[in-house]
């Protein structure tokens, strides 16, 4: 009998630690499928940031290095410079990439490090219990913005995909969402493309994925999916913000 | 014997790193160590190596972490304020058991301080600085030749113990010139790295991490680290000992103050005062046994440092309980001179203040 749907080889069968309804698992699966399709699992090294994504090594049967909070792009730089023939990806959340690690992500991107960064944006600090993130939406209630995020005191949510797209070193910067089958399919294409950019040595690639955190948003999994559509996408528009078509940077 | 060449301390160290097989350097400029990245920016590309000027010291040390996890010899260098920024990364390197060489050409602080030589970062290097329960191996060169030789040794020790190794030298050792042999005395030791992350091809996946959440996992890990540190203490002490046979007073000093002490000891002996020297070359592991043994006999120990008294605490712990421990320190922006040290010797031998 032909299997028409199965777990990707690049995904382990470890029980997930993510909350029911969280879309990290979808992101993991898509990355695993992409590794399978591109045949790169044997030469891929994954570098998780700190937060919900830290257990990356449980789910991907690949070599992995745990980075300090926010520093995954710097660690990835070190790995890639030491081993240019390997495929290197960092996997970061919004607190990790858009707050403590802004310096590392901006400069890795600007150097055009030939690495791929997967950025899971769920507008909140997940693992530490739902505090305000740089991507927390205006008016959004978190444990440290209990009256709703107010731009006058907390500033505005940061649009990382657009910000990084302004940098010359970036080959590919896109934002996708993980809340519907259609969007998941688009996300998969973006992930494959981001890896391809690296394999073709085009420079830095980043895929921002709008993701749920129903636990800390205090809503049901289904409502969380709707929140991506109704609240997040209007502020964080989907699309490709930069895409190199040839080695035009040379 | 290879010919000696007039060389600056920082350059001897940078060349030493190349000859140790370090092909990846990540760093950020800061006085008085910028000769090191400048030399490597010039010379690493010529031999297929990689020089990256990072955006900060925080990024530098994490790039080092990535290159080290790849199984390659790698180094960064900085001075006080930059080393402070690296402490997070140093703690992660130690927790993840990753080898790397970190160089601190010390300038005087706290804060921005100044660029004059000191030894104000002794405590930070030897007793932590980063979070958690860990030790760095710490080497303290006392000459330009040792800047070269101990850099090679630093890479060997880092690999042997899978542990970060720091070289701490004051700005004087980094900046002055001496004749130096720029070839290794013996073949450089290389280590197998069966833990390195190189892609899983042909084997099971590997993981380098410092997070231990399971019951007792962290305790087990820390006890394993402790065992390693004990092994380092037992096996790797390096110390220079001079004029101890007939000494009535021992000076304990490292780096530049040890050189000043040597001159002072010469002056003292001209006056018939029997003074010897213990110069720790490794600050961790500390020469505890050597200090205990000699202080038991001599009774007078004078610690000379370029700070307000950091190593003196370790000397007190190591020394025999009956030994009188005297201290002379200049905390940066000024120097201990041989005459000053001679006066301290006389005061100490005269039963003066401790």
Counting beta carbons within 10 angstroms of the beta carbon of residue B36, is it exposed (0 to 12), middle (13 to 18) or buried (19 or more)?
A: buried
Q: Do B209 and A57 touch (CB under 8 A)?
A: yes
Looking at residue B352, its pLDDT comes to 57
CB contact set of A63 (below 8 Å; sequence gap of 6+): A44, A45, A46, B197, B198, B199, B200, B205, B206, B207
What is the distance between the alpha carbons of residues A203 and A245, in angstroms, rounded to a whole number?
11
Interface of A with B in 27-66 (CB under 8 A): 41-45, 47, 54, 57, 60-66
Inter-residue contact A87 to A199 (CB < 8 Å): yes
Residues of A in contact with B200 (CB under 8 A): 41-42, 61-63
Counting beta carbons within 10 angstroms of the beta carbon of residue B340, is it exposed (0 to 12), middle (13 to 18) or buried (19 or more)?
A: middle
Interface of B with A in 254-313 (CB under 8 A): none
Distance from CA of B57 to the nearest CA of A (A): 11
Task: Provide the H-helix boundaries in B110-176.
Answer: 122-126, 144-161, 171-175
CB contact set of A220 (below 8 Å; sequence gap of 6+): A21, A214
Inter-residue contact B302 to B348 (CB < 8 Å): yes
Report residue B103 as tokens. Answer: 């160089």
Q: Hey, is the C-beta of A79 within 8 angstroms of any chain B C-beta?
A: yes
- What is the number of helices (H) and of strands (E) in chain B? 12, 16
Looking at residue A152, its pLDDT comes to 97
- The complex's ipTM works out to 0.97
Say if residue A65's pLDDT is above 70.
yes
Sheet containing strand B324-329, strands side by side: B239-242, B275-280, B249-252, B300-305, B324-329
What is the distance between the alpha carbons of residues A105 and A168, in angstroms, rounded to a whole number?
14
Sheet containing strand A44-48, strands side by side: A239-243, A170-177, A204-210, A116-121, A87-93, A44-48, A63-65, B207-208
Q: Hey, is the C-beta of A170 within 8 angstroms of any chain B C-beta?
A: no
Q: Higher-confidence residue: A80 or B354?
A: A80
Could you read off the pLDDT tens digit of each residue along chain B, which spans 354 residues? Answer: 579 999 999 999 999 999 999 999 999 999 999 999 999 999 999 999 999 999 999 999 999 999 999 999 999 999 999 999 999 999 999 999 999 999 999 999 999 999 999 999 999 999 989 999 999 999 999 999 999 999 999 999 999 999 999 999 999 999 999 999 999 999 999 999 999 999 999 999 999 999 999 999 999 999 999 999 999 999 999 999 999 999 999 999 999 999 999 999 999 999 999 999 999 999 999 999 999 999 999 989 999 999 999 999 999 999 999 999 999 999 988 999 999 999 999 999 986 555
Q: Do B68 and A107 touch (CB under 8 A)?
A: no
Nearest to B66 among A42, A54, A79 (CB): A79
Inter-residue contact A63 to B205 (CB < 8 Å): yes
Three-state DSSP state, A158: coil
Chain mean position to CA A112: 18
Neighbours of B223 (CB within 10 A): 12
Looking at residue B128, its pLDDT comes to 82
Neighbours of A245 (CB within 10 A): 7
Report residue A244 as tokens. Answer: 């190199």
Say if residue A11's pLDDT is above 80.
yes
Give percent of chain A above pLDDT 90.
96
Chain mean position to CA B94: 16
Tell me how many residue pairs between chain A and chain B have CB atoms under 8 A apart: 130
What is the distance between the alpha carbons of residues B113 and B313, in angstroms, rounded to a whole number?
24
Say if residue A195's pLDDT is above 60.
yes
| E strands present in B16-127 | 24-27, 50-53, 74-78, 100-108, 114-117
- The confidence band for A249, taking pLDDT boundaries of 50, 70 and 90, is low
What is the sign of the dihedral through the CA atoms of B65, B67, B72 and B74?
A: negative
What is the sign of the dihedral through the CA atoms of B254, B257, B261 and B263?
A: positive
CB contact set of B269 (below 8 Å; sequence gap of 6+): B243, B275
A17-48 pLDDT, tens digit per residue, is: 999 999 999 999 999 999 999 999 999 999 99
Inter-residue contact B76 to B51 (CB < 8 Å): no
Looking at residue B329, its pLDDT comes to 97
| E strands present in A94-244 | 116-121, 170-177, 204-210, 239-243
pTM over 0.95: yes
Distance from CA of A230 to the nearest CA of B (A): 37
Interface probe for B, chosen from A81, A87, A107 (most Cβ of B below 10 Å), is A81
Looking at residue A2, its pLDDT comes to 87
- According to DSSP, residue A60 is labeled S
Q: Rounded to 5 degrees, what are φ and ψ at B266?
A: -60, -45
Interface of B with A in 181-210 (CB under 8 A): 197-202, 205-210
Q: Would you list the DSSP string of B275-313?
A: EEEEEESEEES--HHHHHHHHHHH-EEEEEESSSSSHHH
Nearest to A63 among B26, B67, B206 (CB): B206
């Amino acid at each position: 009998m032909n299997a028409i749907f199965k777990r990707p080889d690049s995904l382990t069968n470890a029980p997930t630690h993510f909350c029911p309804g969280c879309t990290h698992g979808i992101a993991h699966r898509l990355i695993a499928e992409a590794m399978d399709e591109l045949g790169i699992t044997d030469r891929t090294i994954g570098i998780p940031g700190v937060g919900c994504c830290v257990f990356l090594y449980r789910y991907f049967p690949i070599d992995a290095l745990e980075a300090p909070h926010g520093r995954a792009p710097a660690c990835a730089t070190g790995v890639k410079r030491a081993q240019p023939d390997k495929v290197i990806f960092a996997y970061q959340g919004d607190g990790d990439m858009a707050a403590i690690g802004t310096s590392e992500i901006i400069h890795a991107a600007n150097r055009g490090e030939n690495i791929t960064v997967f950025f899971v944006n769920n507008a909140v600090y997940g693992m530490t219990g739902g505090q305000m993130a740089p991507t927390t939406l205006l008016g959004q209630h978190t444990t440290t913005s209990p009256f709703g995020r107010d731009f006058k005191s907390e500033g505005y949510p940061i649009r990382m995909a657009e910000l990084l797209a302004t940098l010359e070193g970036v080959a590919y910067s896109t934002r996708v969402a993980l809340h519907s089958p259609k969007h998941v399919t688009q996300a998969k294409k973006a992930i494959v493309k981001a890896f391809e950019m690296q394999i073709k040595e085009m420079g830095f690639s980043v895929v921002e994925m709008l993701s749920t955190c129903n636990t800390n948003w205090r809503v049901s999994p289904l409502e969380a999916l709707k929140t991506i559509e109704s609240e997040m996408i209007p502020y964080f528009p989907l699309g490709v913000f930069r895409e190199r078509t040839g080695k035009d940077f040379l | 014997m290879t010919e000696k060449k007039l060389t600056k301390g920082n350059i001897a160290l940078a060349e030493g790193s190349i000859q140790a097989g370090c092909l990846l350097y990540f760093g950020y400029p800061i006085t008085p160590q910028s000769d090191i990245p400048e030399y490597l920016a010039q010379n690493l590309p010529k031999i297929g190596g990689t020089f990256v000027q990072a955006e900060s010291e925080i990024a530098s040390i994490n790039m080092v972490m990535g290159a080290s996890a790849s199984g390659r010899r790698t180094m960064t260098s900085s001075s006080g304020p930059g080393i402070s920024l690296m402490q997070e990364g140093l703690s992660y390197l130690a927790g993840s058991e990753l080898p790397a060489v970190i160089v601190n050409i010390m300038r005087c602080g706290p804060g921005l301080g100044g660029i004059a030589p000191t030894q104000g970062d002794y405590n930070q290097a030897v007793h932590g600085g980063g979070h958690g329960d860990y030790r760095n191996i710490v080497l303290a060169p006392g000459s330009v030749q040792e800047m070269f030789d101990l850099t090679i040794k630093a890479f060997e020790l880092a690999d042997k113990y899978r542990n970060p190794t720091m070289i701490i030298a004051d700005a004087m050792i980094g900046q002055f010139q001496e004749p130096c042999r720029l070839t290794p005395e013996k073949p450089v030791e290389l280590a197998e790295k069966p833990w390195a992350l190189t892609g899983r091809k042909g084997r099971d996946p590997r993981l380098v991490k410092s997070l231990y959440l399971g019951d007792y996992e962290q305790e087990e890990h820390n006890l394993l680290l402790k065992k390693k540190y004990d092994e380092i203490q037992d096996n790797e002490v390096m110390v220079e000992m001079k004029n101890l046979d007939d000494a009535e007073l021992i000076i304990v000093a490292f780096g530049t103050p040890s050189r000043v002490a040597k001159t002072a000891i010469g002056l003292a002996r001209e006056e018939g005062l029997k003074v010897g020297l213990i110069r720790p070359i490794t600050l961790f592991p500390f020469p505890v046994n050597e200090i205990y043994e000699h202080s038991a006999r001599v009774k007078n120990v004078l610690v000379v440092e370029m700070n307000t008294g950091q190593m003196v605490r370790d000397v007190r712990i190591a020394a025999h309980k009956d030994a009188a421990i005297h201290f002379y320190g200049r905390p940066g922006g000024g120097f201990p001179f041989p005459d000053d040290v001679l006066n301290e010797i006389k005061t100490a031998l005269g039963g003066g203040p401790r």
